[in-house]
């Protein structure tokens, strides 16, 4: 029997897989279409939403995102791999390809009480844990990497569409 630490359980509860099992239909004034999205890791950030990489939705990059009407309000599927059989629906609420960040809202999830705490007091030398499901396969364990902050990269957020 393996006993998990509180930190490990916390990590498993707030790190997700975004499943690429659906094709998402959309409408624009000029035409209708669809796009596919990649499978990837995401984490729940308290007060913000589910954070993932914008490159998962690369097919949207050349479209006028603010004008897209999705035919299904919550078209994306998220789950916690082997840690829960429950699948949830999510929708894209913000995306910025310049910094490779996308934010999803998970249907019925209260982000005011769930997720990792947001912290702006990060400095060189701070310890970090990197979590995810690289090359995800069904029932895969959450992978953890450890390191430290080596440098700060700053961006001016120009556009979150």
| Residue 80 to residue 87: CA distance in whole angstroms | 8
User: Which residues, 6 or more positions from 93, have their beta carbon under 8 angstroms from its beta carbon?
Assistant: 49, 103, 104, 105
**Per-residue model confidence as pLDDT tens digits over 86-123:** 899 999 889 888 888 999 999 999 999 999 988 888 88
The reply to whether the predicted model has a pTM over 0.85 is no
Would strands 15-19 and 76-79 be described as parallel, antiparallel, or unpaired? antiparallel
**Per-residue model confidence as pLDDT tens digits over 57-84:** 887 887 777 777 777 788 888 888 888 8
Residue 3 has pLDDT above 60, yes or no: no
- Distances from the Cα of 75 to the Cα of 34, 56, 60, 154, angstroms: 12, 14, 14, 32
Closest alpha carbon to 68 in 32, 37, 94:
32
- Distances from the Cα of 101 to the Cα of 27, 28, 125, angstroms: 24, 24, 24
């Amino acid at each position: 029997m393996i006993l998990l630490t509180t930190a490990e359980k916390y990590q498993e509860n707030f790190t997700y897989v975004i499943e690429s099992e659906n094709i998402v239909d959309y409408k624009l004034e000029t035409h209708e279409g669809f796009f596919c999205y990649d499978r990837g890791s995401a984490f729940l950030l308290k007060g913000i939403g589910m954070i993932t990489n914008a490159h998962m939705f690369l097919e949207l990059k050349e479209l006028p995102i603010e004008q897209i009407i999705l035919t299904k309000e919550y078209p994306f599927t998220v789950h916690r791999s082997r840690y829960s059989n429950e699948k949830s629906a999510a929708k894209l609420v913000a995306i910025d390809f310049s910094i490779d960040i996308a934010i999803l809202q998970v249907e019925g999830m209260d982000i005011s009480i769930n997720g990792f705490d947001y912290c702006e007091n990060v400095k060189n030398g701070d310890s970090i844990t990197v979590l995810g499901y690289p090359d995800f396969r069904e029932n895969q364990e959450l992978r953890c990497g450890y390191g430290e902050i080596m440098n700060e990269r700053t961006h001016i957020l120009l556009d979150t569409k």
